[in-house]
């Protein structure tokens, strides 16, 4: 498998869009395990999607260099996972010159993720995150657009279904890049191949997710003999990071499309926020991210989660909660403290974490933690007990806005 750091698909176009206040937007985030309303296929088969309403955040992880388990380290302030779909990037379509057929191939890193699914995949699924396997060309002439026959497409679909079932995955993502059609005597893209492939895969995996990264020759080969790719796949999203572009996939509605795409390590946070604003304003169902690194990028992720869900992103390093954060303004706005671990904190002790006396207006609290706030130093005066994040101290009884001075975190 080739190195997957591809520059041509990561170029960013900075969008000059007005930033609209984060507090204006609030979308219901799916609860772990909830399924969306069925998406009808040509056979009217009900497909399980990931959430009941609101945009779904999707992330590709370059497993050649980054830990796929990182997907589970990010949550919203209320404890729900930030990412609805995590995609293992990527398995390959290779070509066997002896049999003149395409076959599914895993490099060492992808193999490690799949073989260690008890620690890399299943913990994410337990949180409600869907895990897909991306399928990518490998410069050998084989791709999703040049199967020479329906039988060949069916055979490859069977390999994909076997992988999904063997490793307990939630679906397949198609990416029509780096196939180098014509190499090794292979054919050029044809009109029927992709339609045959997704039709066969949908039959084999009627309740799994199939997605399409909108790029390459497949984008102009989405219908054949009256059957559309959009009637067989669940989602499609824009492939050019830092831009807004609506995938033209007949059969998919706005709820199943992602025009916004960001590269976490190179797209600016202002652009990420603007693209999230467009997603909300135009009622699109997907927000696509790429290149989740190994370090804590919760501040960057908050730039769009605040817009999509009205909540910041919390980093739970190592899979466990790291601490409480107090925020200067309501709705988790303004300056925030660093993460404060469990313990009892007077004002001077809190100030070491960036806390300011009589300043806090909201707080993010890891799931299962309790915070007792006091209006005076040394745990005296009026107190408030919180067992979950709170975005609005003025709404507490009595009003707790700009009065907190000491806290106990349990």
Q: How far is CA 83 from CA 9, 162, 197, 389, in A?
A: 22, 25, 27, 19
Per-position b or e across 105-137, b if 16+ CB within 10 A of its CB: bbbebbeebbeebeebbeebbebbbbbbbbbbb
φ/ψ of residue 164, rounded to 5: -60, -45
For 305, half-sphere exposure in the C-beta direction (CA atoms, 13 angstrom radius) is 30
Cα 170 from Cα 175, distance rounded (Å): 17
Cα 300 from Cα 76, distance rounded (Å): 13
Residues recognised as catalytic: 177
Cα 243 from Cα 292, distance rounded (Å): 18
CB of 86 closer than 8 Å to CB of 56: no
Q: Where are the beta strands (DSSP E) in 77-221?
A: 85-96, 101-105, 130-137, 171-175, 209-214
């Amino acid at each position: 498998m080739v190195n997957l750091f591809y520059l041509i698909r990561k170029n960013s176009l900075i969008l000059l869009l007005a930033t609209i206040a984060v507090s204006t937007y609030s979308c219901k985030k799916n609860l772990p395990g909830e399924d969306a309303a069925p998406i009808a296929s040509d056979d009217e088969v009900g497909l399980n999607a990931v959430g009941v309403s609101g945009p779904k955040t999707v992330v590709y992880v370059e497993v050649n260099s980054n830990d796929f388990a990182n997907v589970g380290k990010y949550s919203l302030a209320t404890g729900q996972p930030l990412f609805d779909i995590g995609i293992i990037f990527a398995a390959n379509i290779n070509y066997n010159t002896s049999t003149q057929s395409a076959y599914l191939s895993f490099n060492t890193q992808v193999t490690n993720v799949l073989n260690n699914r008890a620690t890399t995949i299943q913990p994410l699924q337990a949180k409600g995150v869907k895990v897909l396997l991306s399928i990518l060309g490998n410069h050998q002439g084989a791709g999703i657009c040049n199967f020479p026959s329906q039988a060949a497409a069916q055979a490859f679909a069977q390999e994909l279904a076997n992988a999904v079932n063997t490793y307990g995955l939630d679906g397949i993502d198609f990416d029509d890049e780096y196939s180098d059609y014509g190499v090794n005597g292979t054919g050029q893209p044809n009109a029927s191949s992709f339609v045959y492939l997704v039709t066969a895969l949908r039959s084999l995996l009627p309740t799994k997710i199939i997605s399409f990264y909108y790029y390459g020759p497949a984008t102009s080969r989405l219908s054949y003999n009256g059957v559309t790719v959009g009637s067989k796949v669940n989602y499609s999203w824009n492939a050019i990071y830092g831009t807004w572009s609506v995938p033209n996939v007949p059969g998919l509605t706005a709820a199943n499309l992602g025009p916004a795409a960001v590269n976490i390590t190179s797209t600016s946070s202002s652009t990420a926020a603007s693209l999230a604003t467009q997603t909300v304003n135009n009622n699109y169902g997907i927000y696509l991210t790429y290149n989740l690194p190994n370090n804590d990028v919760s501040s960057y992720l908050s730039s769009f989660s605040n817009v999509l869900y009205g909540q910041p992103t919390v980093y739970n390093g190592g899979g466990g909660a790291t601490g409480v954060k107090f925020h200067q303004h309501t709705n988790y706005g303004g300056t925030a403290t660093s993460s404060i671990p469990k313990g009892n904190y007077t004002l001077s002790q809190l100030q070491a974490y960036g806390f300011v006396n009589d300043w806090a207006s909201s707080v993010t609290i890891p799931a299962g933690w309790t915070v007792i706030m006091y209006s005076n130093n040394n745990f005296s005066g009026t107190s408030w007990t919180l067992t979950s994040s709170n975005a609005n101290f003025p709404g507490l009884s009595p009003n707790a806005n700009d009065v907190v001075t000491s806290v106990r975190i349990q």
